Every structure is written in structure tokens, then in C-alpha cells.
Chain A
Amino acid sequence: MNPLFEVIRDPDRCIKCRVCERQCANEVHKYDPDLDKMISDPMTCVDCQRCVCLCPTHALKIRPNENQFRENANWSHQTMDEIYKQADSGGVLLSAMGNPKDYPVYWDKILLNASQVTNPPIDPLREPMETKTFLGKKSQKITYDENGKAHYEKTPYLELDVPIMFSAMSFGSISKNAHESLARAATELGTYYNTGEGGLHEDFYKYGKNTICQVASGRFGVFKGYLDAGAAIEIKMGQGAKPGIGGHLPGMKINDEISKTRMIPKGTDAISPAPHHDIYSIEDLRQLVFSLKEATNWEKPVIVKIAAVHNVAAIASGVARSGADIIAIDGFRGGTGAAPTRIRDNVGIPIELALASVDARLRDEGIRNDVSVVVGGSCRSAADVVKAIALGADAVYIATAALLALGCHLCRSCNTGKCNWGIATQRADLVKRLNPEIGYQRLVNLVTAWDHEIKEIMGGMGINSIEALRGNRLMLRGVGLTQKELDILGIQHAGE
């Protein structure tokens, strides 16, 4: 096996301060006293850029290894490397973060509209612009009493100041400091973060008003107090990065705090089976939704999260009829702390297509207002958010973008537990590198910036609320898409 990367050190710049050595949990850098110089072994380098960023003299760079196998259009370097790894180990390939393969990104093939002449744009700095949105069932029946007062069915809902939430990442997959950053940012932004399936750390119950508590097949950390703590409950049926696959947090990662939060013994494996073994039908799902509502006195909206798979529209239609208030759909580019490579890279469908077909299906069936639709699985910018809402989403979930704000450089090695940025690790010396005080502020900055951009884009379209943008596919045009793709997206081609 060849190293994937080369460590390039400029000897004229290196002052042998050994920062790189101390910062690298993969032990790439070492000081050699005999030679009086820094040496490196690139074999374990994951290109996380920690040493590059912290080198005080900018002496380091990491680049792809120039050594290449003989060129072959069919057998890429990576494909060959994977064969060697499996031949060496007999193991299933394990990867982290979202699908990096070169599949179409439909966000990048959709263009937005703007007003000219007849329908003037709105200046968001000068005129009111609403990015507040509400998630939950929207009652369709309004009656008026003799005093003209409106009466309608009130069901629990979530109120978001921005149409962006932080999606599920468990304590275990990410660090306590990362969770704290998300919780505090959600609180300040008037939105929500999601516990993932690892329970809620006792220190974070105070952020409950801005917390979505997840319930998955393993039921880790789920008890009455946990269900009561959050603003909403999310049932995890699937995850975009690994549809049809469960979770497995190895025992060695279950330290004291994770054990306490998940309510499982230290050092034992935490297995989250792929299916909920009590759910084989929409009726069974309905039973879980209703049991959670009963247990929490019908005070909390219930979200059902599914992965975007081939039959997502029919599945979403079933979910909408299960009594769920919100459907979360996770596209095939969604991140993960660990997933079998073959699953991550080959299972599921793009969120753009899934969203368009779910929205169309729910409208066709006259049940679109029975549920809100939240999408995740690679919303990378404010433009993606606007496109998602115009395709029919009520709000989006972001996670990879949030981790990038916390310092992640997408080295995709979360599964090793040696995250040099203190995010996807439980090692105390690494966790403390992420200061939640700074982390939360960076998340607030990111979402605030996106919120400004969303307002700017909406203003350009002459639209002043999320409500008016949602499902407004006339604001979208495709470029370089086939008629079939345009039909599924429900949009016209640019120029039409």
C-alpha cells in the first residue's frame, strides 16, 4: 500500500517547534534528535489539515501522493487500493462523512429567478423580510364563531426563526464540545439541534427548548425524562448515508459519559439494529408515533426521519398518514460517523429528486398540509436552501456544513475516533481542542450569514416570506437536464 498523501515540509521555513508533532493524533510527524530535524511518515496521514493550519511558519503542505499506478480508466487508483485493503484484512470497507463520488448534484443544475421591471425586487435591508417558519400539521379547517373569532385545530409545532436546523449527530459520534456548540447555537439562532440516537447529556437538558430528541431502534438513553426534555421527538427510520443499515458504536468508544448518556454499560457494544423490530407497516409506525405522543401528553410534534430511497414518495405518503407531524428526508449525500463504503457510495437517491417527488405526491394526494417536510443530505449553502424550499421543503437540516464551521476539513476519518479537530472523537486531549465558546459563535455566524443571503435571494425574486417561496417552482429553471429530470423536479428548462 502506498500512502495517500505526501507531507511536504519546507526546511527553510520549519523552525522545529514540534507543533505538528503535538497536534497530530495520527502520529505522522516526529522530531529526530540525531538529525536535529522534523521527519514525517505519511502512511497514517488523513489530510485533515490540522498541522498545516497550526504550523506557525506555514512550512507544511499536504498533497495527494504523486506516485500513481499505471493509468487505467476502468481500475482507478482508489478502486485498486480498496482491493488491496480487503485482500490484506478480509474486512468490510468502512468510511465516514457523505458520499464523495461524482454523482450529479442537482442543486448545481438549477438556477434561481429574479424580478426585472414588472415585479420589483425587495431590498431586505430596508423592507421587512420573513424567514421565520413553522413546522407541523397545518390545520385546513377554520370555523368562525358569532364574534368572528377563528377556530381551528391546534397541534404541536416547531417555530424556527431561520429555516435551517442542525440535523442528528449523536453524542458518541461527535464530542461533547461539538454538541454543546450546536445546542448553544440553536438556542441563540431560534432554531433546533438534534440529539441523534445517543441520548441527551445531562448538562444539555437546559437547552431542551431548542432540542429535538431522537428515538431509534436501539432506544439508547430513551426514557420519560428524555422525551419530555426536548421540543420535538424524531423517530429515526433511516439515514441517507446508510439506508437500510443500523448503527454500531464499538464498546471501546463507550466511555463513562457516553455510557451514562446512552444508559448502557461502559465498554459494551451499542448496537442499533437496521429495522425497528416492532415496525413492519405504516400501522406499526403509527403505533410508535402515537405511543410517543401519549407518553408526552400530546404536547410535542413527532418527526419521522427516512432515507431518500427509490420509493420515497410512496413511503412519505405513508408516513404522512401515520400521524407524524413532520417528515425528514435524508438524501444519499448525507454525512455519517461511520458507514460501510459500499452502502454509502451506492445506496439511496439525490435529495433534490426525492424532495420534488415527495412534495408532488403529497400535493396530489391532498395531504401536503398534514405534514411539514424537512430535507437534509447535503445542503451546502444558502442557495441550496432556497432551491430546496422552492422545490417544496419547509426547512432544511444541515450537519456537514455545521461541522465545517466547527473546524472539520472533511478528511472523512471520523470512524477512526482520532479527529484532530476535536469533533468526531471522545479522546479528552482532542475534544478540548474544540472550544464550545468559539464553536457556537462560528455556527451562529454561519447560519446568520445564510439567513442574510436567503433574504437577499428572496428579495431579488420579489418574495418576502418563506411561506411564499415554499413549493414555488416557477422560481426555478434547470440547466443541462434531461426532460425526465425536469419532469421529476417539476421545473422548466432555462429559457422556457
Chain B
Amino acid sequence: MKIDARNHNYTELNKIIRESTEEKFELDHVLGERYLGAGTSGKELIIEGTPGNALGAYLNGSKIIVHGNAQDAIGDTMNDGAIIVHGNCGDTTGYAMRSGEIYVQGNAGYRVGIHMKSYEDLYPIIVIGGKVGDFLGEYQAGGIIIVFGIGAEDCPVGSFCGTGMHGGEMFIRSETAPQGLPKQVCCNEATDEEKQSIRHYAERFVKHFGGNVDELLQSKFWKLTPNSKSPYKQLYVNN
């Protein structure tokens, strides 16, 4: 179904998507409409323009493709599905997402992948093509965050990366290691074997946005994991 978003507000758009028996929707002239596809499953949204905040919040299996930039909080508390952004996206991308995949061709804002977590066979993936802002993977509890830093001149992550991290992995493609990591994060150069573990996601990234997987994986990657030797546990005494 083709929908001209200029004629509808976000509630109407979501209602059409939710209530239609059709599965595929092409939304044209999207300009800041929030919460598109929130909580849906089994749908495919192809968005032309710039969707507003909380795109695909609580997404439960739908696929959302954005031809343009996305704003803040895409995939908030996402449970399953895929969001593919042919452009940049804003802050708190994938907040507390539990499963599914987010691919962003360009840059992303602050607090990407904050509190993302995994559970049994639910395993979330965020892949950012360009650079990200501060607090990448804050409170990360599971899943994988990959930052390719394509076109970046220096390390493509901001400050305070991995603050509060207690699970999952991050892979950062960069000649130099991220600076100013908290002591609860371990940072090592990824081995070839470890790099192969993300090959599947690199292939998908290339399939969405073009490029060469081998070239990407030839570069130096830094793998960040929680340092279990220095947990966040504050010592408590029962009173």
C-alpha cells in the first residue's frame, strides 16, 4: 500500500498500518511523524523522508527501511524485527532493545545501544556505518554493537564508551583504540577469528548499503567486553 504521509498525522498512519491486512507499506513524504510502526509485527514499512522520534518503538518483528535520516530513539525496547536507515540517526538508538537488528549507513548520536540486552535466543544487533556520539553501549547487558567508522579520520566513538557495560560485545573499526574507557570495560584488538564472528553482520551491512566485506574486515577492530574482574557491584552492608 502506498501512503502519502502529508495527508495524515502519526496516529492515523499507525492506525492504517495496524488495521490493514496488507503487509507492505510505502510511506512517502514522511516528515517528523513519530512512533511509526510502534509495536507492530509482520509488517514492512518503506519510508521516504525523515521519520520522527521513536520510530519502531517496541517493534515486534516488522521490518522498517528508511530512505533518509531517522531521528532519536529508533527501535526503543525493540523485541524483534529490523530497522535499516539509509542515512544518519539520532540519540538512544536501540534503547533497551532485546532482539532484532538495526543497520545505519551513516552516523548515529549519543547513547547508541544503551541498555541493550539479550535473553536466550533473543540477541540484538546494532551496526553503525559511520561515527557515533558519547556513551556508546552505556549499561550494555547483551547483544553486539558494531561501529565501522567508514570515512572517520580517527576513532569513531565518543567519550565514556561502555559506561556501566555488564554484558554483550562491541566491535569498533579504528586504527586507534577508543579513549577514556571506564575500568569496567576490557578493550583488546580483535583477533581474526573474532572478526569472522561479525562477518555475517558485515555482509548484511554491505548488502543494504554496498561496499566490500573483506575490505571492511581487513582493518583493525577493537573488541570491547565487560571486565568481570572489576564489576559495578558496590559493596553493601545489611543494616
Contact = CB atoms under 8 A, between A and B. Distances in A.
Given A271-B232, A294-B35, A94 B239 contact: yes
A298 B235 contact: no
B115 A224 contact: no
A415 B111 CA distance: 31
B26 to A, nearest CB: 20
Contact of B238 (A265, A291, A413): A413
B174 interface: no
B44 interface: no
B39 A295 contact: yes
B39 A296 contact: yes
Which size bracket describes the interface of A in this complex?
A: 35 or more
B169 interface: no
Given A263-B119, A287-B53, A297 B18 contact: yes
B13 to A, nearest CB: 10
B34 A290 contact: yes
Interface in B205-234: 231-234
B87 interface: no
B58 A291 contact: yes
Contacts, number: 131
A219 B114 CA distance: 11
Given A82-B239, A223-B58, A277-B92, A287 B234 contact: no
Contact of A291 (B54, B119, B166, B232): B54
Contacts of B234: 91-92
A156 to B, nearest CB: 14
A91 B235 CA distance: 5
B79 A298 contact: no
B102 to A, nearest CB: 15
Instruction: Specify which of A278, A292, A296 lies most central, judged by the most chain B CB atoms within 10 Å of its CB.
Output: A278
Given A277-B111, A294-B35, A224 B79 contact: yes
B139 A265 contact: no
Interface in B1-24: 10-11, 14-15, 18
B161 to A, nearest CB: 15
B39 A224 contact: yes
Interface in B90-140: 91-92, 95-96, 98, 111, 114-115, 117-120, 122, 135, 138-139
Given A278-B91, A291-B57, A416-B238, A265 B38 contact: no
A42 interface: no
B11 A298 contact: yes
A93 B166 contact: no
B119 A271 contact: no
Interface of B: 10-11, 14-15, 18, 34-35, 38-39, 41, 53-54, 57-58, 60, 72-73, 76-77, 79, 91-92, 95-96, 98, 111, 114-115, 117-120, 122, 135, 138-139, 141-142, 164, 166-167, 231-239
